[in-house]
Amino acid sequence: MMDVSCLCMTHGRPWHLAEAVESFRRQRLDGLTAELVILNDCPEQEIVCDVPGVVVFNGDWIADLSAKTNMVLALASGTYACLWDDDDISLPDRIVDGVTRMAGTLAYRPTLCWSWGCGVIRHMGEPLFCSGMFDRQHAVDSGGCIVGEWNDKTLWDRFWPTRNVVQYEPKPHEAQYIYRWDGIGWHESGSGEQDAGVRAAAFRKAALGDSKFVPGRIDVRPVWKQDYVGMIRTAIEQGKGGLRR
């Protein structure tokens, strides 16, 4: 059994996945064991990756992100788990920081992270569960995500009633997550305006129609296209840690 399972769900955008894998590869584990579990439900592409600790499952399209989240939860083996969105960046201390703050609790959610979009990096005041960590078995035993609803919200709701959780507001230099705006549409489970299937289908159409999309076998070679650690350091030095709420 692993200490931490990083849960990465992807569909049709390996150019982002390569950076997500690199985020995992750069983690300073300090003796912890960790795996990156990638669930690819784009049947037009077969994802392969030979990075140590990375496990890839390829399958048919799953027309609901919450159902997909429940599947990757079941495929993982970690005591703790964290969502590892394929288009976001996890800085090198994310796993160690999460496990430290998880001590004796069921879930941890930072209330601040970094936001990067349109060339602008800012400190964002948004309590994103995708940037936190949680007890994997509790998530499974309590039913996981509610199919048809937002995956991260309903997963967080499994923990919040117990109050055995930590919400922490990190200082700019402590934030370990960069939430990145993607250009091909939302990959969410559902909302009050559209059901999960509609949103998943719209995302799939956008992904397959992207000019960078290539069908077939994709050997993911991890890389960061930016020096994200340096980017954050520069943003702090320049006083760009102001909140966008």
pLDDT per residue over 9-65, tens digit each? 999 999 999 999 999 999 999 999 999 999 999 999 999 999 999 999 999 999 999
**Model confidence band, residue 187 (pLDDT cutoffs 50, 70, 90):** low
Q: Is residue 68 within 8 Å of residue 189, measured between CB atoms?
A: no
Instruction: Report the C-alpha gap between 10 and 38 in whole angstroms.
Output: 7
Domain count along the chain:
1
Mean pLDDT of all residues in 216-221: 98
Q: What is the DSSP string of 136-158?
A: HHHHHHTT-SPTTS-HHHHHHHH
The percent helix, strand, coil of the chain (3-state, each to 5) is: 30, 25, 45
pLDDT per residue over 115-146, tens digit each? 887 566 676 666 788 899 999 999 999 999 99
Predicted TM-score of the model (pTM): 0.93
**Model confidence band, residue 163 (pLDDT cutoffs 50, 70, 90):** confident
Range of the domain at 152: 4-244
Question: Residue 165 corresponds to which tokens in the numbers above?
Answer: 């959780």
| pLDDT value of position 116 | 81
103 class by beta-carbon count within 10 Å (0-12 exposed, 13-18 middle, 19+ buried): exposed
Instruction: Report the C-alpha gap between 58 and 208 in whole angstroms.
Output: 16
Mean pLDDT of all residues in 168-179: 89
The CATH number assigned to the domain holding 132 equals 3.90.550.10
Amino acid symbol at 73: L
pLDDT per residue over 72-114, tens digit each? 999 999 999 999 999 999 999 999 999 999 988 999 999 888 8
